[in-house]
Amino acid sequence: MNPSVSPSTSKHAASRGAHAGTPSGKTAKPARQQKAAVYEVRKSPVHGNGVFALRAIPAGERIIEYRGERITWDEATRRAAERGGPVNHTFYFSLADGNVIDGGRRGNDARWINHACEPNCEAYEEDGRVYIHALRDIDAGEELNYNYALIYDERHTPALKRLFACRCGTPACTGTMLAPKKRTRKKPTPKSAGAST
């Protein structure tokens, strides 16, 4: 019916149509080769895999998003139990809305960034997404790290402390990835005698 549309108009309309018709999440990933890699994952002297700067990174630069499946705390606890251990906070990232990002599933390289007591990076949440950015100027070759500040409400048993021992080796090392307990929640004591009703 309308065979002769101007080329520019039809081109514009076509690209828009293609975008609208493509379900989000299934679009082809943009080529990453154009951008020089900022970091690489390799064995860390501190623990397991680590993430290392491939070039100098200035303070404040956003390095990577912390990706992974978004789940509830109930699901996070269930998965931890399934693996037979305490909740593995080292792959879980708590969100302000009470949910958790499980970096162990559909996660990216950010999950390999190790903890340090005196870190060169910091994680922050923005609109429900978590990003790691440089806290100070970082040299090429430096291992990236941030303070996990793991919060465990339950008692910090020797076993738990051993599991989350820190070997970052910085002078300020506290020896643990666990954040000091801030809240002292009073648990109801079932045996308390003389409780008034």
Kindly list the residues in this chain that would bind Zn ion in the complex (CB under 5 A): 117, 166, 168, 173
Nearer to Zn ion, 100 or 116 (CB): 116
- The CA-based diameter of the chain, rounded to the nearest angstrom, is 91
Indicate the pairing of strand 145-146 with strand 114-115. parallel
Toward Zn ion, which CB reaches closer, 79 or 115? Answer: 115
Query: Minimum distance between the CB of residue 174 and Zn ion, rounded to whole angstroms?
Result: 6
Pairing of the two strands 100-102 and 69-71? antiparallel
Q: Give the C-alpha distances (Å, rounded to integers) separating 70 from 19, 74, 97.
A: 26, 12, 11
* Min separation Cβ 176 and Zn ion, Å: 8
Residue 54, phi then psi, degrees to nearest 5? -95, -15
Closest approach, Cβ 173 to Zn ion, in A, equals: 3
CA of residue 190 relative to chain centroid, distance: 38
Pairwise CA distance, residues 15 & 85, whole Å = 50
Please, which residue, 81 or 173, has the CB nearer to Zn ion? Answer: 173
Question: Toward Zn ion, which CB reaches closer, 45 or 188?
Answer: 45
Min dist CB 147 to Zn ion, Å, is 9
